[in-house]
Each structure stands twice: as C-alpha cells, then as structure tokens.
Chain A
Amino acid sequence: MGSSSKKKKEKQKDFVKPKLKVGKTKPKADNHTSTSFKAKAIVVGHQSLNTAAPTVQSQLKHNLTLLNHHAYTTRRDSLAHIASVLSSSSASNPPISYSVLLPALAPLIVDSTAPVRTQLLTLLNNHTKSKDPRQDAIIPADAIQMHTPRFLLYIHSAMTHISADIRADSTNFLSWLLDVVGEDAVRGAKGWGKTLKCWIVLLGWEGAKSGKGVRGSTIEFSDPGKNKKASLQHMGVLKQFLSTGIIEEEEQLSYFDIKNRSLLLPHQYSDAFMIPKTSNIYGHLNLFGILTETVNEEDAEGSAEDCDSRRRIITNVFEDSLRTGLQAKLQEGGEVGRAAGAVLKVLDKALKTENSEMT
C-alpha cells in the first residue's frame, strides 16, 4: 500500500468538516487574521473646544430642521423649543424670519401623531392671537395672511387624510386660521370652493347630490365617543366657516362717506365700473398658473373673491348637499343636532339676504 493511500488521506484531510459543539466558541478559521492592536494614547481628530453655548438663532434653525425628524418625540420637543423661544421674544424683534418659520410649521398639520399636532395647535393659538387687545401677537396676522394659501393646502390635505385622527383635528386648524385671518381664509377658489369640497367629503355628504342619501363618514361608526366630540367640533367650525364666508359684515358708513359718494358718483351702478375693492379679482382665470384647471362642477372653483360670488357658489353647487346633511344631523338630535341647527340658521340667513337682494 504505502505512500499512495497515505497521500490520499492527507489530501482528504482538507475536506473534513470541523465539528461544532454546543457551548464552545466557534473555532477560528484558518485564514483568520487578528485586527486588534494596542496604543498608548487615543487622539480624537476634531474636538469642539467652544465653551459658549450656541446662539438662539442657530438653535432655532437646528430645531426647524428637526421638525422633519422621524421620531415624533423629537418633533414635539423641537416644537416646544420653538414655542418657548417665541414666547420670550416680542413681535417687533422676531428671532427668526416668519417666511422661514411658517412654511416649516405648515406640513405638521398632517403629522401622523396626535401629540405633535396638539403641540402645533397650541403654538399657533398662543402666539398668533394676542390675549391682550392692546398688544400685538408675537406672530402678527399679516405674516399668517401671507402664508394663508400654504396653510390652506395642508388643511385640505388633513381634511381628506386617510387617518381619521388627522381628519378630526383638521378643523381645529381651520378654525384657528379663520380666527386669525378672517375673510382671507375663504377668499379665492382654493379658500372657498376647494374647502367646501373637502367639507363635503369630510362629513360624508357627497351622496346627497346624486340622490343616494347621506351616509356618515367612516369616522362616525368607528369610534362613537370620539366621534361625537369630533362631529360637534366640525359643526362649530362649519358654522364659523360659513358665517365668515357668506355673511357680510355691515360696513359702518359715516354720513360723510355717503354724502361724498353721492356727490362723486352720478349713477347708482357706478360701483360696478370702479376699481374693485378686493385684490386679485381675475385670480379664477389662472393667468399665471401652470396647471390649467378647467372650471368643473358648474362653478365650484370659480371666483370667490366677495360675499356674493361665494353665496352663488353655495347655491349653485353645495346647497343641496349641505342642507340634506344638516337636516340629517338635526334629526339625530342632541348637542350635534343643535349645532347643526345653528349652521342651518346661518345658511338660511345668508341665502335669504341674497334672495331679498335679488328681489
């Protein structure tokens, strides 16, 4: 036999599988190389030696970037930080430009977690409305007004969000916006027609128009306790929304105004040919927009710059759905029913004034 079989055995040795045993460390591979090393000292390349704390501005900037953080606690905390910085400053000397701050805050309206949304709402409520009428709010209404379209976009998004909680909270933000900027929130196609559309789907009243009857939105059935609260709140905000939109504030004209007018304007319809009082009356033509929105659903997204046109849109498009939905709520009774009744009254009042004007 001799060397041949011996060599065979030697060769075979390479292919024998090592046996593993429970509780023993795994044997190191043949080609294992140890990479550990010893050093006398470890020197860190860059180390901040700055003893002074970062400035308020830089901290604020940092916190603004944290608003996109994936952890909701971080988002909430950075909101809290921003709120604290704002409350310690005054309106005349803002710590940060509003055109940076407000666009960063708006997307949090559709934030997925409730604590962040609540924090945002408190921040907005506390710092945009002044408790003391003699003092200006920290964030002035003018600044909010400039960013109204952006806030509206996110409010629309929230009102139609798939998550019921976000939808429930959405009207709070709308209410806040109506409080702060008033009529500016309902002006224009985005402010009026679009918001009304969102209202209709939010409340589940779309079926009324096509004669399929009203069906409550999915929120109603899913969580009765919360739902009643949300529903009540929705009714309240709807009332606020409608009254801001279609009930005209009586202008207190002084005697002089009237006299001047009659002197200056020889004809009763001269108003129609004057320079319009509202801005951007041709906004509905979308002359500078890129996406050409054709005016659909009769006139839903038409010009809604003044009370009359808003009323017209309501009567043309939304009145049936609104009335049917509200009636249904009314019949449900209770607190919600009462709130719905109030909304109906607003609707009746507004539309009656129009009718009376027409006749």
Chain B
Amino acid sequence: MVKRKRTALEKQTNLPSLQNQIRRDPPSYRDDFLIQFRHYESQRDIFLAQPEGYDSEPFIEQLGFITHVADCYPDVTKRFPQDLADLLLHHHNTLEPDLREKLVQCLVQLRNKDVIPSTALLQTLFPILTTTNSKHLRSQLYHSIVSDIRNANAKTKNHRLNKTVQGVLFSVVEAGKGSPDAIVGLWAVKVTRELWRRNIWDDARTVEIIKEASLSANAKVMSGGVRFFLGVDKEREEMDESSDDEDYNESLSKLRHQAGVSGKTKKKQSQMERTVDKLKKKERNKHKASPLNFSALHLLHDPQGFAENLYSMHLAKSNNKLSMEQRLLVLQLVSRLIGLHKLTVIGIYSYLLKYLTPRQREVTRFLVAAAQATHDQVPPDLLEPIIRKIADEFVSEGVAGEVATAGLNSIREICARQPLAMDESLLQDLTTYKGSKDKGVMMAARSLIGLYREVAPDMLKRKDRGKTATMEMKNKEKLRFGEEAPGTIEGLDLLEKWYEEQKQKKIEEGGEEAAEGEEDQGWEGWDVESDSDDSGSWIGVSDDEKDIEISDSEDEKPSAKAKKAKAKENSGDGMDIDKEDKEESAPSTNNPDSFLSLATTRILTPADLATIAKMRAAADLQKASSKAVTALRNEDEVDESLIEGPKTRGKSDKEARLAAVQEGREGREKYSSKRGKALAEKPHSTTNKEKARKKNFLMTLGQAKKKQKRSLIEHRRILKAHVEKQKKGK
C-alpha cells in the first residue's frame, strides 16, 4: 500500500478520530499509534505502581483504542493480549469494576478479531471464573466463555477447541473431586450443562465430565452433575421446540402490514426479504432429518461402574453429610441407570427397604425409585421383600386412601417390570381392594388386575380373570425368570389386518390383479426392488429372467417388462395366497408368531412403515379411551403422578373455595346478553324495555286491572296468539 501523506494536515486530538483514521490507513498513522501505545504502557505502569485508588477512566479509553486497532500493527502489539491477561489474572480482585469489565471485553474483542486463539482466551478467563469473588465479574466471564464456545461452533463443530476445553473442564472437576470444599467443579458443570442444552456439545466426553462431577465429594458439585443427568435432555428438547418460529411469523405479518401502510423504502423491502428467507430456511430445516441426539444417559461409558460408585459413595455410607434432597437425587439417578441399562446393584434394594414407610418424607419419590430400579433381570428374591413391605405398610384397612393408592400403584409399577416379584396369595389379597370406596384405591387395584390379566392370568382369582384372559390362558406359558421375548416390529399385526381389508376391497372392486400391483407401488421412487414374494416360498431365478436389478439412480423405475413378468408370476398363485391369508387372519390376534411371518417374508416398504405409524396412532387412541394398561418399559422414567394416583380435592373452607371460583373466572368475559353489549357500545335512544320500566305507575294500573278481568276464552286466545308469534319469529 502506498503511504499517503495525509496525516500532515490533521491534528490528532482525540482517540476515536485517530482510531477511525488508523482503520482506514494503518501505515500512515503508525507513528501516532506508536505514541499511543507507549502512552498505554506508561498508563499501565502507573496503574501497576498504585493499583488501588487509581483513576481508571483514561486507561479504559486507551485500552479500548489499542484493542480496536491491535490487528493493524501485530508487530507492536505482540505482547498486548498477554499484558491484559496478566493484569486480569493478578489484579482481578483489586481492579476497579469498570476497568475489570473493560479488560474482559478487550480480551473477547481481541478473540473476535482473531488476534488471540479461543484457547488462550478460555485459559485466561476460566481460572478467574473459579477464583473471583465478584458476582458481576463471574456472570460476565461465564457469558463470554459460553458465547465464545458457541461462536467457535457456530458453522461447524470445532472439535479441536471442544476437545481442549473439555480437557480443561475435566481436569478442573477431577482436581476438586476428592475434597469436600472444592467448589471449582460447579462452574465446569454449569458451562457443560449450558453447552449441552444448546446442542453444542453432545458427545461422550461431555458426559464423562459430568460423570466425574457426580462422583465428587462436594455436595454442590455432585448434585449439579446428578441434576444434569436427570433433567438436561428434557431441557434440550424444550429448547429445540421453543425456537422462535412464532416470532418470525409475527414479525412477517407485521412487516407485511407496515409495507401496506407506510411508504416503500429499500430498507423495509430488504428487511422483508430477509425475513422471508429466514422463514423459508426454517421451513426447509424442519423437513430435514434431525441429527441424532443421544441422551446423556445413553452416552455413558461403563454405567454399571458408575451406578455402583454413585451408590457406594453417596448412599451406602452412613456418615454422609448429604441432605435428604441430594440423597434423593442420587437415588433417582441410580435407579434410572439401573432401569435403563438393566444393571445389577444389589445393595440398593435393601437401602430402599429402609425408607418405605408412609411416614417417610417424600415417600412417593422413594416409591418411584423402587419402581425405576426394577427390570426383568432383577432376581425376584430381591424385590419380594420390597413388595411385601409396601403391601404391609401402605395397603391395609387402617391407612388413608391416598396412602393405599400410592402403595398399590407402586406395586403395579414394580410388577409391570418384573411380574415374578409377586406371589399369588398376596396378589389375590391386593385385588380385593377393587371394591374400595376410595376412587384412587379402586382404580389402582383394577389396574393391578388388568396387568396380571395380560402377563399371568393364572395368578388371579377366577372371577378376576375376565373372559379374554381366560380364553388366552391355554396358550400362555408360565413366566420364567430371565426369559427374553423374541423381538417384534410393533404394529405389524395392524399392518397385516390393513392389508387384508385393502385386498378385500380391491377384490370387490375389480379383480385380483389390481390388488397384487398394489404391493409394488409401495416401492415407487425407491431404488431397491422388492424381490420377495408373499407366499414365502423360494423363487428360482433363471438366467434369462433379468428382473432383479438393483439400480442406483432414483428416478429409474423398474422396467415395465419386469413388472409384467412379475405380475404374471404372482397371478398364478394369487388365489393360494389369498386363502392362506384368510386362514391366517383368524388366529392372528392370538398367535404372536403369525404376524411375524409378514416381517420374515417380505421387506417392508416405506409406504408400509408409514401405514404402520398411522395404524398405531389410531390404535393408541382407541386404547387410551378404553383405559387399557399400556405396556410399560424399563427404559422409561416413572412419573410421580402415576404413583400418587388421581388427586381428590380435599374439603376446604369457604374462602378457599371462593378463591378457586374466582380463579376460574379470571380472564373470562362476563356473562350477559349480546344485545345488551351491542347497545352499550354506541349512544342510542331509550329502549322499549327501559321505557316500560320507567313508565308511570298510575298509567300501568288500568292495564293491570284489565288483565285480571280477562275471561278464560280471551286468555286462551292471547296465549295462542303468543305461541303463533313465537313460531313466526323463528
């Protein structure tokens, strides 16, 4: 760049103008910058000579200036970032708040200008975050750290940076792991949680940090880590859902309105275009497949070891200083881990036993934990005492309805996961509560019956079994411990049924061939040709038949010739299939293997899968309305409300009831006639009603007297006329 002699004309009087000029033409203003840089150095020295009671305003201004133009003279300002970092690191407790804030800002700005790398920034800020006493500075640092990592990951994941930061956080957590006073790890957990929530970090290494934090001796750090596992995935989903598409829609409509009302300017037009673009992009993203998000619990390495450590560190030790709430959190996490990964932590069942009494504080959460910690690989011997204790303590004549409800519900939840934990006589005892007057107890007992009708009807009393369960009893094998059911595709039976119906319809409408062609249509637009056959028999592929082609391009459709050949082949045994299908369709509801045949004989087309989804949704709706017990899975969280049962409203005093009524009325319009409202809006003359009301009393007397003197005939006529009038009016 050619050096321009422009500086000669101007006199530098203030930093902003000099900054502006330097930005335009750095080489020409080098000398002026040098003066200012030396000035900064002398200011810094003055500050260092006397850190307290220093008037920092000119220094702040100087810092801002140097930061803004630092990238123009990299050779001069080589040490500048390091200076700032040192100042902050050594004096952050004595610095004036304004100056401190400015220093952090300057560092972030230097990072944004790419003068220093992200790692350098984080290495400066993180130690201060963990040591400073100032709340304000902490929040500033925290926000700048998080936003810096976010920015670094904005376009693509910056794996190198993430790895280093995660390494730093991990070491921070690990360093404070042993001592109960080290609170440093809390910030690591906080940062990690924020980044996880924003979907920036979603790998196993992140989870490892939190895992380490959960095993920390410090109660705060530990509970931070445990809360992460329990709640963060929900948070992340909420975050995704509450993205700001409504805002866009609103702003778009507003902009459109404004465009109609006020004048058209270029700015407004471009604003509008931008918003529309954003909306379109959003729409496109919506249809895109979302990236796989594994929950934090699934990403754990060695969940068994983790659960055992958690249990032995925080629960098994009797001299633990943890509060009840913290212990409950740990218990919740351990039980969740056990349920999710089907772990074996034997100690937890006896630990739980201690707390299962109605007088225990937060007993529902203990009951939830007991249910969550159950899965089909837990030996029934371990669970039997728990169920026995719950039955003894919670479910008896002497206790309140809510208690019995909670007990029965938790027994049901446990048995849904491990039916073998129940013994026959106890079950039959418990089912007698189905006649209870308390609604919650009655419902809980019934749901228990419903559950055992499905899994082991022979354990129920004869009268409780019900018709269908009794009929199915012949086919049911006795439950055995450790038995794995063969895997199925959910909803496949529904698909089979649907096919059946479709076929019937087609046959009624126009022959069989149409029905056959249907199956191929499912693959339209998909590049793999279906080569399986409904009959389930093997097909011999001869040399001259060239209908099995696997093409790569999408728009290439199976050749017409091949289709025809296939149709012919199929039509030959079409009748047999039909018959077979009909035969199969009758027992399909009873025999679980029958619908598996569909999965083993043909490849499901995307159209099939879509149909399955639809059918399942419909079936679920039906089920929900018929209050059937849905199959429970060990992976799911147990909701506390499931255990507590339906809440009955207690008798409250009049004020409370009135308050409830008032609450219902809030935001509701007052009930009144529409006509009255319409009239109130505009000024109007007196209505007939008003006139009638205000009519002089004496004037109405005659009418009233006449009314009394009416004959019956007259009266009838008047009534009839009124009815007539009413009819006409309608």
Contact = CB atoms under 8 A, between A and B. Distances in A.
B726 interface: no
Interface in A1-40: 1-2, 4-5, 8
Interface in B33-57: 34-36, 38-39, 41-46, 48-49, 55
A68 B55 CA distance: 10
Nearest to B54: A107
B79 A296 contact: yes
A4 B83 contact: no
B434 to A, nearest CB: 65
B11 A164 contact: yes
B705 interface: no
Contacts of B8: 218, 221
Contacts of A159: 38, 42
Contacts of B32: 218
A5 B683 contact: yes
Contact of A160 (B42, B684, B686): B42
A189 to B, nearest CB: 11
Given A156-B38, A156-B45, A291 B86 contact: yes
12 contacts: A4-B685, A4-B686, A5-B683, A153-B42, A156-B38, A160-B35, A160-B36, A163-B13, A194-B41, A198-B38, A222-B11, A296-B79
Contacts of B34: 201, 206
A153 B49 contact: yes
A353 B683 CA distance: 110
A207 B28 CA distance: 11
A162 B90 CA distance: 29
B31 A207 contact: yes
Contacts of B11: 164, 218, 222-223
Given A5-B683, A162-B14, A218-B11, A202 B45 contact: no
A217 interface: yes
Interface residues of A, number: 39
Given A162-B12, A162-B18, A163-B13, A149 B36 contact: no
A157 interface: yes
Given A4-B690, A164-B11, A218-B7, A154 B46 contact: yes
Interface in B524-541: none
A322 to B, nearest CB: 16
B115 to A, nearest CB: 18
Interface of A: 1-2, 4-5, 8, 68, 107, 149-150, 153-154, 156-157, 159-164, 190, 194, 197-198, 201-202, 204, 206-207, 215, 217-218, 221-223, 290-292, 294, 296
Given A162-B14, A162-B36, A218-B11, A2 B686 contact: yes
A215 B686 contact: no
Contacts of A296: 79
A224 B44 CA distance: 32
Contacts of B86: 291-292
Given A4-B684, A156-B41, 9 more contacts: A107-B55, A153-B46, A154-B46, A157-B39, A162-B12, A162-B39, A164-B11, A206-B30, A218-B7
Interface string B66-93: 0000000000000100010011001000
A291 B13 contact: no
A359 B729 CA distance: 132
Contacts of B48: 290-291
Contacts of B10: 218
Specify which of A107, A157, A292 lies most central, judged by the most chain B CB atoms within 10 Å of its CB: A157
A53 B43 CA distance: 40
A8 B13 contact: no
Interface of B: 7-15, 18, 30-32, 34-36, 38-39, 41-46, 48-49, 55, 79, 83, 86-87, 90, 683-686, 690
Q: Which 10 A-B pairs have the closest CB atoms?
A: A160-B39, A156-B42, A160-B38, A222-B11, A157-B42, A221-B8, A201-B35, A153-B46, A201-B34, A160-B35
Nearest to A190: B45
Nearest to B679: A4
Contacts of A8: 683
A157 B46 CA distance: 9
Contacts of A222: 11
Contacts of B690: 4
A162 B15 CA distance: 8
Contacts of B41: 156, 194
Contacts of A218: 7-8, 10-12, 31-32
A149 B36 CA distance: 21
A249 to B, nearest CB: 29
B42 A149 contact: no
A215 B31 contact: yes
B181 to A, nearest CB: 28
A1 B90 contact: no
B59 to A, nearest CB: 10
Given A160-B36, A162-B36, A218-B32, A198 B42 contact: yes
Contacts of A163: 13
A234 to B, nearest CB: 14
A197 B46 CA distance: 16
A68 to B, nearest CB: 8
A160 B15 CA distance: 13
A122 to B, nearest CB: 24
Contacts of A194: 41-42, 45
Nearest to A221: B8
A162 B35 contact: yes
Nearest to B3: A212
A66 B10 CA distance: 35
Contacts of A5: 683, 685
Contacts of B46: 153-154, 157
A198 B87 CA distance: 22
